[in-house]
Amino acid sequence: MTRVFLHGVPDTVRVWDRLVPLLAPSNAVLLSMPGFGCARDADFDASKEAYLDWLIAALEAIPGPRDVVAHDWGSILMMRVLSARPDLVRSWVGGGAPFTPDYTWHPTARLWQTPGAGEKAMERLSAALAGDMLMRAGLSEADAQATAGRIDAEMKACILALYRSGRDVFRDWGPDLAKASAPGLVLWGARDIYAPPDYGQRIGDVTSARAVTLDCGHWWQVEQPDAAAGAILSFWRGLAR
């Protein structure tokens, strides 16, 4: 099997630097969302539909069976694949993003979704300001600065397009999560400022997946890599039974 890792916003594949070595997979594939630390094609509009199509194509090109580990927007996209293309995922680990129709986007997301105001917010989003925001969400100063330093103009444009296309993503895609049949594990930070861990439990209830709450903020793979790795390895071992 292949272990596939998919990051979220505003991250790059570097968000997995601590977790992947603990899982020791020689068959790991780290996917980079177009525009997030990598180039995107000129005709790629960075909508949720475009990212979903990209993810489906990327998974199709990866030898199966595929165990997917995803976080934040990566988790949203991965959970959509569970209902749209269940043949592409043998098992999944997700978290850091709700997937229920009644979720209301957090204030920063709503700002990005507002034409004009979102652009102004991105203009003001210096590395220092981004670092402060990331620290409030749970990252250490060093991790926040490293992440903030990778937020460039291309990523900012993609974030605006993605969040605006995803204004109603939970209402549009959430009900279909009940169709998911692949075994799963939900990981959530106890102090996630974007959504409390009961949203992770609700994903678990819909999909019959185990939901684990870790002692951290939003980024469990960065803040609690050992605990996250332990939960994931235990889950993977159970797949073989």
Could you read off the pLDDT of 42-91 as tens digits, one per residue? 999 999 999 999 999 999 999 999 999 999 999 999 999 999 999 999 99
Q: Which domain holds residue 214?
A: 2-104+169-239
Cβ atoms 167, 105 nearer than 8 A: yes
Counting the structural domains of the chain, the total is: 1
Cβ atoms 25, 54 nearer than 8 A: no
pTM for the structure as a whole: 0.96
Strand stretches in the chain, DSSP E: 2-6, 28-31, 66-70, 91-94, 184-189, 210-214
Is there a cis peptide before residue 183, judged by omega within 30 degrees of 0?
no
Give the CATH number, domain containing residue 91: 3.40.50.1820
Is residue 124 domain-resident?
no
Task: Note the pLDDT of residue 26.
Answer: 87
Is residue 19 domain-resident?
yes
Structure confidence by residue, pLDDT tens digits, 160-214: 999 999 999 999 999 999 999 999 999 999 999 999 999 999 999 999 999 999 9
Structure confidence by residue, pLDDT tens digits, 136-165: 999 999 999 999 999 999 999 999 999 999
Structure confidence by residue, pLDDT tens digits, 108-127: 999 999 999 999 999 999 99
Q: How confident is the model at residue 24 (pLDDT cuts 50, 70, 90)?
A: confident
Is residue 213 domain-resident?
yes
Cβ atoms 143, 184 nearer than 8 A: no
Q: How confident is the model at residue 241 (pLDDT cuts 50, 70, 90)?
A: low
Burial of 46 per CB tally in 10 Å (0-12, 13-18, 19+) = buried
What b/e sequence results for 168-192 when a residue is b if at least 16 CB atoms lie within 10 Å of its CB, and e otherwise? ebbeebbeebeebebbbbbbbbebb
